[in-house]
Amino acid sequence: MWNMTSGVDEAAMLQAGEIIRKGGLVAFPTETVYGLGANALDAEAAAKIYAAKGRPSDNPLIVHIADFSALEAIAEEIPEAAMKLAKAFWPGPLTMIFRKKDAVPYGTTGGLDTVAVRMPDHPVALALIRAGGGYIAAPSANTSGRPSPTKASHVADDMDGKIDAIIDGGSVGIGLESTIVDLTEKNPVILRPGYINEEMLGKIIGPVHLDEALLKDDPNLRPKAPGMKYRHYAPRASLTIVEGEAEAVRRKINELVAQESAKGRQAGIIATDESAAFYSRGIVKSVGTRSEEITIAAHLYSILREFDELEVSKIYSEAFETPQMGQAIMNRLIKAAGHQILHAE
Ligand code: TXA
Ligand code: MG
């Protein structure tokens, strides 16, 4: 484990780059979540990622680049809209889908003729991409089925002994995976919501819509990003989201937690700084403050991991329909809850 919490360690970075060039695996921080990196142009290296994560081989990887010029070597055509989005949001938490060039092996794209590309906004990530040859395939650095890692200790919990190195860059800033936009079809579609939302994209390229399969709980609709069809993560204790007006939600959660207590069981509660004091029983964890929604996104995965370590029979979470990241936060939370949502009256 290399510590680069206070900046890029150039000597260690050369070694990390060498591991990538030789086909090894290095976990590294980005602004969204930690990634598990390998040389994206080497099918054998990419295969090691799938093995370490226990990831289904039809779930494609995102190729991370550090310079816009690198895009031309891997994307067949770069639509005008992509140029505009790159200019507005790269480096940053936006992934775009392109038709791939032959340089990108099918082992990286899960057999698809398209490739997902992103330029992360993190000095350690950019330095590693450059030291490693310019193209790093990196999914989130968690075991398949667990929440994405937002700090190096999460990566170590899942990956110790399975990968060549971990670079510790401290806690990530955003905490949810990048927004994915598909520009290969006539109308741009958001395949995965993230920090960069519909409105922000719309200001640059006009109307953009969320993949319909993500809005409805319909098993016949197949999400366009193969990874979005997986349940992803289910906490050990069953999770229920309670939505509604703030006071009604608190009352309902207190009632549900009291029911568990009456049965001699302890429940967990995902609250906010504003609401935590209103819960009298159960294990209460504040995910952040509603006045700064980024704090909610940043702590969500960490809190879900913490509850897996505790003896709780049920977990109840408030809903977080916040203005900018609400769609992304709720997309991840609803998946973790297996679509169990209660409306408090
Ligand atoms: O923020 C992020 O994007 C993080 C950091 C490490 O950069 N990476 C990440 O990767 O979240 P991963 O592998 O956990 O998620 C990649 C998602 C999956 O849902 C996958 O199906 C989708 O991107 N994807 C990748 N290539 C695609 C393609 N060619 N077409 C459609 N979806 C694609
Ligand atoms: Mg992932």
DSSP state of 324: T
Using DSSP's 3-state secondary structure scheme, residue 302 falls into helix
Tell me which ligand sits closest to the C-alpha of residue 228.
1
Domain ranges, residue 121 = 2-180
- According to the model, what pLDDT value does residue 251 have? 98
Give me the CATH number covering residue 114: 3.90.870.10
Tell me which ligand sits closest to the C-alpha of residue 229.
1
Both 243 and 134 in a single domain?
no
Question: Average pLDDT for residues 309-315, to the nearest whole number?
Answer: 94
Question: Average pLDDT for residues 26-55, to the nearest whole number?
Answer: 98
- According to the model, what pLDDT value does residue 340 have? 94
Question: Average pLDDT for residues 63-81, to the nearest whole number?
Answer: 97
Both 252 and 172 in a single domain?
no
Both 68 and 163 in a single domain?
yes
Both 146 and 250 in a single domain?
no
Both 141 and 276 in a single domain?
no
Q: Is residue 88 part of a domain?
A: yes
Model confidence at 97, pLDDT cuts 50, 70, 90, reads: very high
Q: Is residue 192 part of a domain?
A: no
pLDDT, tens only, 136-187: 999 999 999 899 999 999 999 999 999 999 999 999 999 999 999 999 988 9
Q: Is residue 189 part of a domain?
A: no
Q: Is residue 141 part of a domain?
A: yes
- According to the model, what pLDDT value does residue 231 have? 66
- According to the model, what pLDDT value does residue 82 have? 97
Ligand 2 center–CA 252 separation, angstroms: 32
Atom 21 (ligand 1): residue with closest C-alpha? Answer: 227
Last residue of a domain, one of 158, 180, 202: 180
Both 94 and 170 in a single domain?
yes
Give me the CATH number covering residue 290: 3.40.50.11030
pLDDT, tens only, 228-267: 877 668 888 999 999 999 999 999 999 999 999 999 999 9
Both 139 and 249 in a single domain?
no
Q: Is the pLDDT of residue 303 over 90?
A: yes
Q: How many domains does the chain have?
A: 2
The Cα-based distances of 51 to 44, 46, 144, 245 in angstroms read 11, 9, 10, 45
Last residue of a domain, one of 136, 153, 180: 180
Residue 92 to residue 95: CA distance in whole angstroms: 9
If you average pLDDT over every residue of the chain, what do you get? 96
**Other CB atoms within 10 A of residue 335 CB:** 16
Determine the atom of ligand 1 nearest the C-alpha atom of 115: 29
Last residue of a domain, one of 180, 214, 246: 180
Tell me which ligand sits closest to the C-alpha of residue 138.
1
Q: Is residue 188 part of a domain?
A: no
Question: Average pLDDT for residues 304-326, to the nearest whole number?
Answer: 96
CA dihedral 102, 103, 108, 110 (to 10 degrees): 0
Q: Is residue 204 part of a domain?
A: no
Q: Which of 7, 42, 48 is nearest to 27 (CA)?
A: 48
Q: Is residue 293 part of a domain?
A: yes
Testing ligand 1's pocket by substitution, the residue of 177, 183, 184, 224 carrying the most ligand atoms inside 8 A of its CB is 177
Q: Is residue 91 part of a domain?
A: yes
The Cα-based distances of 84 to 81, 140, 185, 205 in angstroms read 5, 26, 16, 7
